[in-house]
Amino acid sequence: MSRRLEDLLPTPLQAEQLAALAPLQSSHDLLILLDRWVERGWLRALDRALVGFLEERAPGSDPLLLLAAALASHQLGHGHVCLDLGQTLAEPDFALSLPPEGDALDGPLLLPSQLLTKLDQHTWCERIAASPLVATGNTPGHSARPLVLSGLRLYLRRYWSYERQIDNALRQRLAADQVIAPALPERLEQLFKGGAPQGQVDWQKLACALATRASFSIITGGPGTGKTTTVVRLLALLQGPAVEQGRPLRIRLAAPTGKAAARLTESIGQQVELLEVSAEVRQQIPTDVSTVHRLLGSRPGSRHFRHHAGNPLPLDVLVIDEASMIDLEMMAVLLDALPPSARLVLLGDKDQLASVEAGAVLGDLCRDAEEGFYSAATRAWLEQVGGQSLQDSGLTPGDAEQHPLAQQVVMLRHSRRFGEGSGIGQLARLVNRQQAQAARELLTQKLDDVHGLSLQGEHDRRFDRLLLDGLDRGTDGPQGYRHYLRNIGRLRPPPATAADDPRWEQWAGQVLRSFEEFQLLCAVRKGPWGVQGLNERVTRVLHNAGLIDSQQPWYEGRPVLVTRNDYGLGLMNGDIGIALRLPDERGVALLRVAFARNDGSGGVRFVLPSRLNEVETVYAMTVHKSQGSEFSHTALVLPDTLNPVLTKELVYTGITRAKHCFSLIEPRAGVFEEAVERRVRRISGLMLEQG
């Protein structure tokens, strides 16, 4: 008689039947348990398939090794590069984010905390290391082994290799000196006339100086700290001497998403026009920003790119914006495709959410940015070329050997968008410092740009009113979704307007800009407070208000988010479009979806709905999806229960998507404070080991 898992895994841990299942001693029993976890959605089928592959490759493998491999694969799906055995044993359920969001914990189950309760760290490491499937670091002759154990971290080999590639490439770049522009102090002074206010360090100026002396540098800072302004001046600083010598540098700009690329294209074009440099230099500073995938030459259906070490990118300087969205694999590919002599400059906010895929590269590389850790030599050089003292900068002294990367990282610290009087800025800073109680007190104050709404149940009509009319302060106040929908009709060209009249494109552009007046953000996807539930709610509210006719899948006014790059249509993951009714050449009104072009021209492209397969309604989007975007009024909706994704990074990112007003929507008290007190813990070993 075959055993059923339900018979073997009763809910009570002490149940007699549970003793019959021994997942840590029997591979057979472990596979039964893993199958059950896949059925419940706790593991991916991919995680289970890896275990099957390992068992085929080495029959009779130790179940402790197979369990660790399944969990390492599972962690990749949650953004972690590896499995940290110590953290997993210390807090199994939290470290593994199990049970997952939405699991009601009904029926027979066995939690990781129950499974691992009697397992000790030494035994687990020893048993893993003994497997012929596992290499320990760079052990000679073990390069074909699919798993790598490095200290307490277990990797799938590919991701261990990515880490080593990045680590080695960055160390080489940091060690390679670049030719510093002649008369650097004078050139800096010309570009930064006026400088920072009296008594403040001009961090933008120092960032430019540092970036001139090595093949790799990072400029990090929050919204409004001047990252784009800084990099434009840096490009002028680098390009000036090259133009004078008749050998202008080949400069390329890129960002992870089409939306981020479009934003940088627009802002960098404006900044270049303001530069006080010669027309020749200005003409050699590009304003066109590509996506990273397009820059590298992505190949459909393949993880390989046209550009790599054997066919490097034809450039001298590469600037990557929104670098917090770059995952481990993409960073490894990018560094591999760079010519050894090229400079790489990363821009981004280290405090934002990390990439959706595995790794938190910018966060790992900027771990010392706050303290500085500049060596005495670096500080002296900066003071010399920058013409300002760092005596009262608050930086922690460091050593170049212990902190080699820190010598090329600058954190911009003064926000021009969110000054001391900005409620959004104050709230973002408090959340970033994990001062939950002070953040709560700020939310209770009556500020023009920060609003809190504590709901009285799921059907609180005040939330519906906010969705419709924002904060109800009139046409100049923070808006809801009624604003853009009314503009569709109010701004529409007359019915007799010819199909090829440019007014249709202008109208579509106005509607798209109107939509950016308000955006609902969520922490999770499932449940009434997730993307799915809130998109349904907003659709219902707008339909009941007579603003949309949502009886059909496609209707005028429907906003959609592209969820996968489509190079044939020129659409990128993260692009937002709105369905609008326009006349065809016969004058018949047809629905087409308007998207802003990603070239900084301000133009609009129209796509038939039938050609859009990878899109979803986007009245609500996750905070992750919102990265690289900004909205006049942003409302962040927290779930009513604590979830592993709720961290101070998520809340901070949601707050800083707002340009003029931020609203926090709370279905249950206390979740905000709990989220602020938790940090993202992306497990990796980047820049921790010697190459």
Does residue 246 share a domain with residue 362?
yes
Statement: residue 427 has pLDDT above 70? yes
* Residue at 157 is within a domain: no
Under the banding of pLDDT at 50, 70 and 90, the label for residue 15 is: very low
In a domain, 636, yes or no: yes
Q: Which residues contact 594 (CB under 8 A, 6 or more apart)?
A: 508, 509, 511, 512, 577, 578, 579, 580, 604, 605, 606
Burial class (CB in 10 A: 0-12, 13-18, 19+), 1: exposed
pLDDT in tens, 37-88: 998 889 999 999 999 999 999 998 999 999 999 999 999 888 888 999 998 9
pLDDT at res. 3: 42
pLDDT for 476-511, tens place per residue?
889 999 999 999 999 999 988 888 889 999 999 999
Q: Do residues 399 and 454 both lie within one domain?
A: no
Assigned token pair, 107: 């029926």
For residue 624, what are the domain limits? 423-551+618-677
Write out pLDDT tens, residues 533-570.
999 999 999 999 999 998 889 999 999 999 887 777 87
Domain assignment present for residue 623? The answer is: yes
In a domain, 226, yes or no: yes
Q: What's the structural domain count of the chain?
A: 3
- What average pLDDT does this structure show over 209-215? 90
Read off the tokens for 393. 């900068």
Q: Note whether 295 and 356 are same-domain residues.
A: yes
Q: Are residues 252 and 116 in the same domain?
A: no
Q: Is it the case that residue 414 has pLDDT exceeding 80?
A: no
What are the structure tokens assigned to 283, written together? Answer: 């003409």
Q: Is the pLDDT of residue 688 over 60?
A: no
Mean pLDDT of the chain: 86
Tell me, what's the pLDDT at 488? Answer: 95
Q: Compute φ and ψ for 6, nearest 5 degrees.
A: -60, -30
Q: Kindly indicate the confidence band of residue 125, based on its pLDDT and cuts at 50, 70 and 90.
A: very high
Whole-number Å distance between alpha carbons of 378 and 39: 56
Whether the upstream peptide bond of residue 197 has omega within 30° of 0, thus cis, is no
Q: Looking at the structure, do residues 314 and 398 belong to the same domain, yes or no?
A: yes
Domain membership flag for residue 609: no
How confident is the model at residue 1, as a pLDDT?
39
Token pair of 650 as six digits: 């998520």
Beta bridge partners of 574: none
CB distance 547 to 559 below 8 Å = no
Q: Are residues 334 and 453 in the same domain?
A: no
In a domain, 517, yes or no: yes
Tell which wins on pLDDT, 109 or 154: 154
- Is the pLDDT score of 572 beyond 90? no
| The pair of three-digit structure tokens given for residue 65, joined into one six-digit string | 């090794």
The Cα-based distances of 508 to 382, 484, 491, 610 in angstroms read: 49, 11, 9, 19
pLDDT-derived band of residue 145, with 50, 70 and 90 as boundaries?
Answer: very high
Q: Are residues 321 and 253 located together in one domain of the fold?
A: yes
Asked if residue 565 is part of any domain, the answer here is no
**Residue whose C-alpha is closest to residue 485's, from 623, 619, 584, 595:** 619
Tell me if residue 350 falls in helix, strand or coil.
coil
Residue 542 sits in a domain whose CATH number is: 3.40.50.300
Distance CA 261, CA 259 (A): 5
Are 341 and 428 members of one domain? Answer: no
b/e per residue 612-636 (b: at least 16 CB within 10 A): beebebbbbbbbbbbbbbbbbbbbb
Which DSSP letter does residue 17 get?
G
Residue at token pair 């973002």:
428
Q: With 50 as the cut, is the pLDDT of residue 6 above it?
A: no
**Residue 600, pLDDT above cutoff 70:** no
Residue 182 is assigned to a structural domain of this protein: no
| CATH, residue 49 | 1.10.10.1020
User: Is residue 460 within 8 Å of 684, Cβ to Cβ?
Assistant: no
Tell whether 136 and 172 lie within a shared domain. Answer: no
Percent of the chain with pLDDT over 70: 93
Residue 291 and residue 219 share a domain: yes
- Please give the biggest Cα pair distance in the chain: 86
pLDDT for 4 equals 44
| Whether residue 547 sits in one domain with residue 509 | yes
- Band of residue 196 on the pLDDT scale cut at 50, 70, 90: low
Cβ–Cβ under 8 Å, residues 446 and 686? no
| Whether residue 280 sits in one domain with residue 351 | yes
Bond into 99 cis (ω within 30): yes
Report whether 201 contacts 388 (CB < 8 A).
yes
3-state class (DSSP) for residue 70: helix
CB neighbourhood size of 399 (10 A): 14
* Domain end position, chosen among 412, 442, 462: 412
Least Cα distance to 390 among 179, 194, 196 occurs for 196
